[in-house]
Structure 1
Amino acid sequence: MAYVAVFLAIVVVVLSILYQCLQSRFNSNHSKDSGNVRTQGKPRTSAKIPGMEKRNQDKGNLEDIMDAGGFQKFIFKLHAEYGDIASFWYGKHYYVSLASPEAWKDHIKAFDKPDDLYEFSKPLIGAKNIQFANGEDAKRRRKLYDVSFQYEAVARYHKCYQEMADEVAEKISSLPAGEHIAVKECMSWFVSHAYRRVVFGDTFDDETKVVALHDHYVTTMDALNQKIGNPGLETDEKFDRALKVWHDLMRDIVQHRRDNPPLSYEDRNFLDILIDSCENEEQLLSEVLVYYSGGYHTTTFMLVWALYYLSQDMTLQDKVHEEVIEVLGKESNRDYWTYAKLGYGKRVLDESIRCSVLAPFTARINYDEDMEVLGYRIEKGAGVVHALGVVHMDENIWPEPERFDPDRFLPEQVAKRHTLAFSPFGFAGKRICPGYRLSYATSIVLLATLCERFKFSYVGSKNVRKKYGIVTLPSEEVWVTAEKREQ
């Protein structure tokens, strides 16, 4: 019996040691897989978030932002130095920037947006729109407005943007052989016409008004882009004049719709919902302005960058062309659902968004409670930047990130990445860009229409750089030539 007792004691000791070893290894692997900064499996909530100290008591790190060349370049530099989670001061407000899908996952429930980071845009879009709404008010508005941008609504608009795409193609066809085409100008025309008709129901019989609407909007946006990293920058009289003209023209769009209401409930569009639901004229105009500017900028420059990249690689262009012929050539009645079958075309758009860093950042704030991210505590009231551009250029996620490769978005490649690795329209709090479906739908129609009929060759500057702002623009006009394809 004594031998049995000794044997059992030895077994117990061995099993205990084995259990401790396995437990230790599990904790180590779990910490590594989750990407969180952890000690013995417990969150380091007492650890200070790495980052920058205030350079100036009132301005915080605004001078550092200007020294870096703007807000987005500053964010790139911040994360290169401090890692996936880093802090800074935007004026007197403390911010934390997150630059990994794992960090974003920890912050995915945040809904509200900080006011001060977007303060620069108030002269352009007003302060009574959904951009500056939070809490239950913002949720109520999103539920009301989003109806106009669901799949069924976007599909209903297809005929309109197909007509606009055909008109662009006809304009290009009429040009002399070898004529240089200004891509930004071309895409701006398409998007401004398509969005006004689809979203606001306005057509503007006078083309001079269309040109004025576009030109004055671009003037004001160019000035405001400079204020992201320098909120104290003063605007000039040119800006004030352009802003007034643009606002007056947008008021004309609202009045036009009031004078020409839809004939049936099914014909109601987004502007009709705004007219019926906004509390006053100030809020109505402000909502019109924010949705127009958001939709115009994102879609226009998605298309500009797509043609910029494709025009430098005929092999990729041919793939788009061949897919259009194979998929759409069999369809006697092309509609939204047939264009949705263009998998390669969609991959081209996604890679254009990623490679251009089209959407550099978004931001959230939690007013009610602290949040834990990567094992660190972010106190309530702190602003949080979601550094979309940093993640979309992360070489650990996207090898050779500057190289344009639509096959990064093949299903088998997507399956290898974190589900949030590509989040150009935001992700947090179910508050992603409301018009992203419409943006994709209009873009794929124009891209397919142009690549079906033409071969494009890049003839612009070799020194086109990314100009960061609310969205990322080419630093100069993109120039191409078009050669008709054999039908």
Structure 2
Amino acid sequence: MLDFAIFAVTFVIILVGAVLYLYPSSRRASGVPGLNPTDEKDGNLQDIVNRGSLHEFLVSLHQEFGPVASFWFGGRPVVSLGSVQQLRQHINPNHTTDSFETMLKSLLGYQSGMGGGATESILRKKSYEGAINNTLKNNFPLVLKLVDELVGKWKSFPEDQHIPLCAHLLGLAMKTVTQLALGESFRDNTEVISFRKNHDAIWSEIGKGYLDGSLEKSSSRKGHYEKALSEMESVLLSVARERKAQRKQTVFVDALFQSSLTERQIMEDCMVFTLAGCAITANLCIWALRFLSASEEVQEKLQQELEEVLGSDPVSLDKISQLRYCQQVLNETVRTAKLTPVAARLQEVEGKVDQHVIPKETLVIYALGVVLQDSETWSTPYRFDPDRFEEDSVRKSFCLLGFSGNQTCPELRFAYTVATVLLSTLVRQLKLRPLKGQVMEVRSELVSTPRDETWITVSRRS
């Protein structure tokens, strides 16, 4: 994202480490209320591990110390902001061009820019975003086709058959992203399965393993991760070279060749899009269908809007903007599921939030998971209620957090498009119901995902 990248604990720690090396003289406390370090070397690291995730730790931190709180990574103080009001104070005077692309590439060990400074980095970002937008325009019929295939499969099931959302929707996301990013060779399920194996190995390790140093401590895990990364890079380079030789201009990798990027940079951008695009798209769709299955009222209201705007026609790109209630459903899905629970930024110049001075080079965490369920910002925050987004103040708060408007990252925009196609196709044909007795637990990592497989049943609309 332009303002709020989807930051994992991994990136936070890497960023802290970088600051410690680059700015060793900036180790002074901020004066913000918070926890004292429980360990001289590790600070509050063990407290975070004990809570199970950085998000859960931040929830307890802000409950105890309020919307502006501090803790310690190693010997370095960190400030966390846990309300919209405090975030607004910090964001406006400290706007940067840091993006999700920059974050994820740092985790993978890539260089985020083109080697020529801020201007080249901005140009590269525009090239990346433009490539995703053009790919959607050129391949929208393919998105419709893949969604139709999934819905057709569900329609063929008996009404009492349990459908595993995580498995099916990750499959949909993987097929959609790989074909739109890399072309028709990924219409072969064998290619997609092989790609998914490496994708899962990479994604699982960049979302965990660094907090307690477990990846570095396990030579087998580290070897598995590095092998998967190397194999995936080789596949992406091979596809890029083949597409360039064929001079095709239909998918994401083709669009990148229209810029001045090197072959290596094109591979890196393909890695970011395929990794992030699959995970964000899959989990947005999983949570949306899970919440819809539990609310017949929301399903019926959405179905009514779809009939009024689309009739019996399939959705088109130009019609998506007219589906306002569908947008509200997806916004509320992101909010309720805490789809991206943590973001972060390095304080580039000395700043101030409320009466608290934040020194230069302090790491500032945006506790988005806390903010998204703050009762002072959202009424009945734990209730799934798309109608809340009819209020202008709610839309503005959501936009401020980087989940809508021009600040939204291209991967999330892509996910919204695929999810809209899925909902507009599915809800007009089938009714969704949750599996009784199912307990939903969230795993808050790089992207929030259900801790276990999520099941629903479907029945045909009469």
Q: Same fold (TM over 0.5)?
A: yes
- Give how far 1:226 is off: 2.0
Give the match's secondary structure for 1:163.
Answer: helix
Q: 2:347 is matched with which residue? A: 366
Residue 45 (structure 2) pairs with residue 62 (structure 1): yes
Q: 2:396 is matched with which residue? A: 419
Distance 1:286 1:56, change over 3 A: farther
Q: Give the conservation status (yes or no) of the 8 Å contact 2:352–2:358.
A: yes
Q: Give the conservation status (yes or no) of the 8 Å contact 1:114–1:365.
A: no
Whole-angstrom distance in 1 between the partners of 2:210 and 2:51: 13
Whole-angstrom distance in 2 between the partners of 1:338 and 1:357: 27
Alignment counterpart, residue 237 of structure 2, candidates 251, 276, 279: 251
| CA radius of gyration, larger in | 1
Q: Give the conservation status (yes or no) of the 8 Å contact 2:34–2:65.
A: yes
Structure-1-length-normalised TM-score: 0.78
Give the match's secondary structure for 1:103.
Answer: helix
Residue 164 (structure 2) pairs with residue 187 (structure 1): no
Distance 1:455 1:427, change over 3 A: closer
Whole-angstrom distance in 2 between the partners of 1:349 and 1:457: 18
Residue 412 (structure 2) pairs with residue 436 (structure 1): yes
Whole-angstrom distance in 1 between the partners of 2:116 and 2:355: 30
Distance 1:53 1:118, change over 3 A: farther
After superposition, what is the alpha-carbon deviation per residue over 1:48-81, rounded to whole angstroms, capped at 9, x for unaligned?
2122233333322211110111111111111111
Q: Give the conservation status (yes or no) of the 8 Å contact 1:114–1:383.
A: no
Give the match's secondary structure for 1:435.
Answer: helix
- Give how far 1:292 is off: 1.8
- Give how far 1:168 is off: 1.2
**Paired residue type of 1:50:** P
For residues 143-162 of structure 1, the aligned pairs below 5 Å read 143-150=126-133, 154-162=136-144
Alignment length (residue pairs):
427
Q: 1:482 is matched with which residue? A: 458
Whole-angstrom distance in 1 between the partners of 2:295 and 2:263: 49
- Give how far 1:275 is off: 3.9
Distance 1:337 1:166, change over 3 A: same
- Give how far 1:271 is off: 2.0
- Give how far 1:330 is off: 6.2
Q: 1:6 is matched with which residue? A: none
For residues 61-460 of structure 1, the aligned pairs below 5 Å read 61-108=44-91, 109-111=94-96, 113=98, 125-129=108-112, 135-150=118-133, 154-227=136-209, 229-231=211-213, 233-234=215-216, 235=218, 236=221, 237-262=223-248, 267=249, 269-275=251-257, 277=259, 280-329=262-311, 334-367=315-348, 369-410=349-390, 413=391, 415-417=392-394, 419-421=396-398, 423=400, 425=402, 432-459=408-435
**Paired residue type of 1:405:** D
Q: Give the conservation status (yes or no) of the 8 Å contact 2:114–2:120.
A: no
Whole-angstrom distance in 2 between the partners of 1:133 and 1:62: 36
Whole-angstrom distance in 1 between the partners of 2:118 and 2:48: 30
Whole-angstrom distance in 2 between the partners of 1:308 and 1:349: 12
Whole-angstrom distance in 2 between the partners of 1:427 and 1:141: 22
- Give how far 1:130 is off: 5.8
After superposition, what is the alpha-carbon deviation per residue over 1:407-457, rounded to whole angstroms, capped at 9, x for unaligned?
1111xx2x23482345554699x8641333222111101111011111122
Distance 1:231 1:75, change over 3 A: farther
Q: 2:19 is matched with which residue? A: none
**Paired residue type of 1:370:** E
Structure-2-length-normalised TM-score: 0.82
Give the match's secondary structure for 2:396.
Answer: coil
Whole-angstrom distance in 2 between the partners of 1:469 and 1:302: 14
Q: Structure 2, unaligned stretches of length 5 or more?
A: 1-28
- Give how far 1:98 is off: 1.3
**Paired residue type of 2:208:** Q
Whole-angstrom distance in 2 between the partners of 1:212 and 1:313: 37
- Give how far 1:107 is off: 2.3
Whole-angstrom distance in 2 between the partners of 1:325 and 1:66: 48
After superposition, what is the alpha-carbon deviation per residue over 1:217-251, rounded to whole angstroms, capped at 9, x for unaligned?
12332233223633454351444444444333333
After superposition, what is the alpha-carbon deviation per residue over 1:80-132, rounded to whole angstroms, capped at 9, x for unaligned?
111111122223443211122222222223316599x969x856x33223699
Give the match's secondary structure for 1:215.
Answer: helix
Whole-angstrom distance in 2 between the partners of 1:394 and 1:96: 18
After superposition, what is the alpha-carbon deviation per residue over 1:282-340, rounded to whole angstroms, capped at 9, x for unaligned?
43322221222222211210110011111122222222222212211065x74112132
Distance 1:243 1:383, change over 3 A: same
Whole-angstrom distance in 2 between the partners of 1:205 and 1:299: 18
Q: Percent identity?
A: 26
**Paired residue type of 2:128:** Y
Distance 1:425 1:256, change over 3 A: farther
Give the match's secondary structure for 1:204.
Answer: helix
Distance 1:128 1:181, change over 3 A: same
Give the match's secondary structure for 1:324.
Answer: helix
Q: Give the conservation status (yes or no) of the 8 Å contact 1:112–1:365.
A: no
